[in-house]
């Protein structure tokens, strides 16, 4: 954190002064007590983006996307020399008019438009100097053209959009485990697709919500709404064979789901029953054989049943796994006879 602060003062404050706020992801560089205290001392707000959704800082993300698309095309013919295109690309971006502000970053920062290094048709005694200026001028023109094309593609992409679900404080929601799965520390973590429900504490902007999470879930409590789903309690109407006669609507769970245990930020769930077994070949040329078991989760309706690989199970379930294999083998033998 202290090293980041030095870089911040050397490369930002030295050139532009103290900003009103710093927007960062949830990494340690801008987190913790050091930056909280430093921000108080120099009157800078440190705003952390929502968990697993960098689009919280949408302006920066759109700029990064546009710059990446432009540079990818710009250096496409000579990708190993991509760094030689950075100066012209950066100049083109800083001198481009932003649609939101109506001004270029250059003008907003300095109050005037920069002089553009254009090659003039003059005879000079040094051809190398003339070639250098012409090369940079050509790169500037190409960067400007590619930037405009990249901006249009980015605008088209964001204008497609999708209708995000809306929540209000007090609503109960389910949280996607798409990113929580990355926190698993071993193969025995049985992680369904959604966890919860958790109450919405407050809304953060138009596309994020802060949740009331258990104290042992040591993760940032603010999530983009694309990672949340409305919770609707329904009775578990599954029969003894594991089939489900409920509506199976997304976001439903049986009423009164059991408490979730947590280990190292990973939710742990109990297996009610092993329903079936299958062997799948995966990987390149489908040479790797994987054994999977269909799980009925304790306290959850059958629409949440899922296939899990063998290494996800604890040793006490080995007899159940072997029984599922035996049943599957018996069905195959009956079908063959």
Residue 196, C-beta contacts closer than 8 angstroms, at least 6 positions apart: 172, 173, 174, 175, 231, 253
pLDDT at 85: 77
Which residues are CB-neighbours of 106 under 8 A, at least 6 positions away?
A: 94, 95, 112, 113, 114
Cα torsion at 120, 121, 125, 128 (round to 10°)? 70
Residue 275 · residue 302 · CB < 8 Å = no
Domain ranges of the chain: 49-160, 172-336
Which of 152-166, 230-244, 273-287, 305-319 bottoms out in mean pLDDT, i.e. has the lowest?
Answer: 230-244
Which of 214, 212, 193, 219 has the alpha carbon at shortest distance from 261?
A: 214
Nearest residue to 304 via CA among 229, 208, 223, 209 = 229
Helix (H) or strand (E) holding 203: strand 194-204
- Please give the CATH number for the structural domain made up of 172-336: 2.40.50.40
**What's the whole-model pTM score?**
0.38
pLDDT at 243: 36
The reply to whether omega before 312 is within 30° of 0 (cis) is no
Kindly report, residue by residue over 54-83, the tens digit of the pLDDT: 455 556 666 777 777 777 776 666 667 777
Question: In terms of DSSP bridges, do strands 261-263 and 266-268 run parallel, antiparallel, or are they unpaired?
Answer: antiparallel
pLDDT reading at 184 higher than 50 = no
* pLDDT tens for each residue of 192-244: 567 778 899 998 877 888 998 877 676 778 888 888 888 876 444 444 343 33
d(CA 261, CA 273): 19
- The DSSP 8-state label assigned to residue 30 in this structure reads S
Is the pLDDT score of 279 beyond 80? yes
Q: What is the structure's pLDDT at 257?
A: 45
């Amino acid at each position: 954190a202290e090293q980041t602060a030095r870089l911040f003062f050397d490369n930002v404050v030295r050139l532009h002064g103290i900003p009103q706020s710093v927007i960062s992801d949830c990494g340690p560089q801008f987190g913790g007590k050091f930056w909280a205290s430093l921000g108080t001392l120099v009157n800078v707000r440190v705003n952390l983006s929502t968990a697993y959704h960098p689009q919280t800082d949408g302006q920066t993300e759109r700029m990064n996307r546009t710059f990446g698309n432009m540079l990818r095309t710009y250096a496409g013919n000579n990708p190993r020399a991509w760094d030689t295109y950075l100066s012209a690309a950066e100049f083109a971006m800083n001198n481009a008019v932003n649609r939101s502000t109506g001004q270029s970053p250059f003008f907003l920062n300095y109050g005037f438009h920069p002089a553009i290094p254009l090659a003039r048709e003059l005879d000079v005694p040094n051809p190398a100097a003339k070639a250098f200026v012409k090369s940079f001028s050509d790169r500037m023109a190409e960067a400007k053209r590619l930037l405009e094309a990249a901006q249009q593609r980015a605008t088209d992409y964001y204008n497609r959009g999708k209708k995000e679900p809306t929540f209000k404080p007090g609503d109960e929601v389910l949280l996607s485990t798409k990113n929580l799965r990355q926190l698993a520390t071993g193969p025995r973590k049985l992680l369904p697709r959604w966890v919860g429900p958790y109450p919405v504490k407050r809304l953060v902007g138009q596309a994020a919500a802060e949740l009331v999470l258990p104290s042992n879930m040591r993760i940032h409590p603010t999530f983009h709404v694309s990672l949340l789903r409305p919770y609707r309690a329904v009775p578990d109407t599954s029969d003894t064979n594991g089939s489900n006669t409920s509506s199976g609507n997304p976001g439903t769970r049986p009423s009164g789901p059991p408490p979730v245990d947590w280990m190292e930020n990973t939710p742990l769930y109990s297996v009610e029953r092993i329903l079936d077994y299958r062997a799948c070949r995966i990987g390149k040329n489908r040479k790797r054989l994987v054994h999977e078991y269909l799980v009925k989760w304790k306290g959850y309706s059958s629409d949440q049943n899922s296939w899990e690989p063998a290494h996800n199970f604890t040793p006490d379930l080995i007899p159940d796994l072997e029984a599922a294999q035996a049943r599957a083998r018996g069905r195959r033998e009956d079908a063959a006879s």
